[in-house]
């Protein structure tokens, strides 16, 4: 697997997206978002996704340069139609607007529909945390094909429906939760297939509803399982609530749209900490709380407690220095695209 520095990988991603029709701003937002996912250790949402986004541009499922339309708003709420633009760009604009509203109103929320994949969900609540606010985001995949079987079921009826919450603090590592409500994100199965690796039991079932460690069964009619193992009804319940916020509140609806067009419905909310308590005291308390959590002695077999967001932060520190390992199958796809778009020489991919 080639090891590539983050800047170079972002440059390759952006150049390919631009060659496929994205504007400079869109290409940079998508490539940076993907590489940030790689840096955080979520390779399933990293550069591996760029060829898929390019396929979706070619299919007309993603529309470069799509307008960002506010269809309904109040001082605290906004309903946004992304007109099939790049989710990375549309959702970031939606969050920026929501933060602006919360600066005056203290609490603000938005829904976003008709946008493509938003990638690593934490990117958006982290914008709020950087602005001294608590940010919450949930996302589904609109009415595109489902991946997760509801608890006790055999067929996929839910998306991986992630939830992310970020809070401001004095800690060095950002304090945030970012999790799929399935046992794992679907991209991790794709990554295991690309790497030829087996997956742990409890991640998927095959088409007959049997547990399997073979990731290829997923694309052969299998389904992801909800988060929670034998208590998977909790993951299933969380996913159902995300679907209500992102599918029904946005008006996207539920079930599968026959065209299979990927449509990330999003619900995001922002709370201005200063409206509740002085921000500096809150940030100090979050840091003290994190130290309280992590100071417990480790349980058997554990190296100790980590805060939410800490694994990603540590990974980012390491990968910024050492570079990002890109699986051969993904690297080959990037090289083929570079050749097709005649940018292989300038990107050093010939
Ligand atoms: N856009 C989409 O449609 C979509 C769908 C699903 C998932 N995703 C993204 O996929 C990524 C991966 O999701 P996931 O559920 O596989 O993440 P994960 O299981 O790796 O991590 C989930 C959360 O647990 C925390 N964590 C991990 N290990 C920990 C430990 N040892 N101690 C304490 N906390 C720990 C992480 O900081 C994170 O907040 C996320 O960025 C998510 O937003 C996106």
Our answer on whether the CB atom of 265 is closer than 6 Å to any ligand 1 atom is no
Domain boundaries, the chain: 3-277+325-340
Q: Which residues contact 153 (CB under 8 A, 6 or more apart)?
A: none
- Which pTM was predicted? 0.95
Best CATH choice for the domain 3-277+325-340 from the list 3.10.50.40, 3.40.390.10, 3.30.1370.60, 3.30.470.20:
3.30.1370.60
Mutational pocket test of ligand 1: of 44, 242, 311, the residue with most ligand atoms within 8 Å of the beta carbon? 311
Does the C-beta of 178 come closer than 6 Å to ligand 1? yes
Query: Would the CB of 185 count as within 6 Å of ligand 1?
Result: yes
Distance of CA 43 from the midpoint of ligand 1 (Å): 11
Q: How close is the Cα of 339 to the center of ligand 1, in Å?
A: 34
Q: Is 283 helix (H, G, I), strand (E, B) or coil?
A: helix
Q: Roughly how many angstroms between the first and final C-alpha of the chain, as a whole number?
A: 17
Distance 180 CA to ligand 1 centre (A): 6
Mean pLDDT by groups of 10 residues along the chain of 350 residues: 96 98 97 98 94 96 97 98 98 98 98 97 98 97 90 95 97 97 89 91 95 95 95 97 97 87 94 98 98 97 97 98 95 97 93
Residues 149 and 156 sit within 8 Å (Cβ to Cβ):
yes
Sheet holding 211-212, edge to edge: 211-212, 204-205, 223-224
Residue 227 has a pLDDT of 96
Asked if 181 contacts 235 with a C-beta cutoff of 8 angstroms, the reply is yes
How far does the centroid of ligand 1 lie from the alpha carbon of residue 163, in Å?
A: 9
Helix, strand, coil abundance in the chain, percent, nearest 5: 45, 15, 40
From atom 39 of ligand 1, which residue's Cα is the shortest distance away?
A: 177
Distance (Å, whole) CA 77 – CA 126? 19
Can you tell me which atom of ligand 1 is nearest the CA of 182? Answer: 15
Look at residues 345, 265, 327, 341 and name the one whose alpha carbon lies nearest to residue 22: 341
Task: Give the pLDDT of residue 93.
Answer: 98
- pLDDT for 262 equals 87
């Amino acid at each position: 697997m080639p090891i590539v520095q983050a800047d170079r990988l972002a440059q390759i991603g952006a150049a390919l997206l631009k060659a496929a029709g994205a504007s400079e701003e869109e290409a940079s937002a998508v490539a940076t978002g993907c590489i940030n996912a790689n840096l955080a250790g979520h390779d399933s949402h990293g550069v591996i996704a760029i060829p898929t986004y390019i396929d979706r541009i070619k299919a007309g499922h993603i529309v470069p340069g799509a307008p960002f339309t506010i269809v309904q708003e109040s001082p605290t709420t906004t309903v946004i139609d992304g007109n099939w633009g790049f989710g990375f760009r549309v959702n970031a604009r939606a969050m920026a607007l929501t933060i602006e509203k919360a600066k005056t109103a203290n609490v603000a929320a938005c829904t976003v529909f008709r946008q493509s994949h938003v990638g690593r969900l934490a990117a958006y609540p982290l914008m709020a945390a950087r602005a001294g606010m608590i940010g919450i985001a949930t996302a589904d995949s609109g009415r595109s094909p489902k991946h997760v079987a509801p608890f006790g079921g055999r067929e996929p009826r839910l998306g991986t429906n992630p939830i992310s919450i970020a809070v401001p603090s004095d800690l060095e590592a950002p304090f945030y939760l970012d999790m799929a409500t399935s046992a794992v994100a679907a991209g991790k199965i794709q990554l295991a297939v690309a790497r030829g690796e087996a997956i742990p039991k409890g991640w998927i079932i095959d088409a007959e509803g049997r547990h399997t460690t073979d990731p290829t069964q997923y694309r052969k009619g299998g389904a992801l399982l909800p988060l929670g193992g034998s208590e998977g009804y909790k993951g299933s319940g969380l996913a159902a609530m995300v679907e209500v916020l992102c599918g029904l509140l946005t008006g996207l609806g539920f079930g599968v749209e026959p065209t299979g067009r990927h449509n990330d419905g999003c619900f995001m909310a922002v709370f201005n900490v200063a409206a509740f308590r002085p921000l500096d005291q809150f940030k100090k308390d979050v840091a003290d709380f994190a130290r309280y959590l992590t100071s417990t002695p480790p349980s058997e077999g554990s190296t100790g407690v980590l805060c939410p967001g800490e694994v990603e932060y540590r990974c980012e520190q390491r990968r910024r220095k050492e570079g990002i390992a890109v699986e051969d199958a993904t690297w080959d796809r990037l090289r083929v695209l570079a050749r097709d778009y005649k940018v292989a020489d300038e990107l050093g991919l010939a």
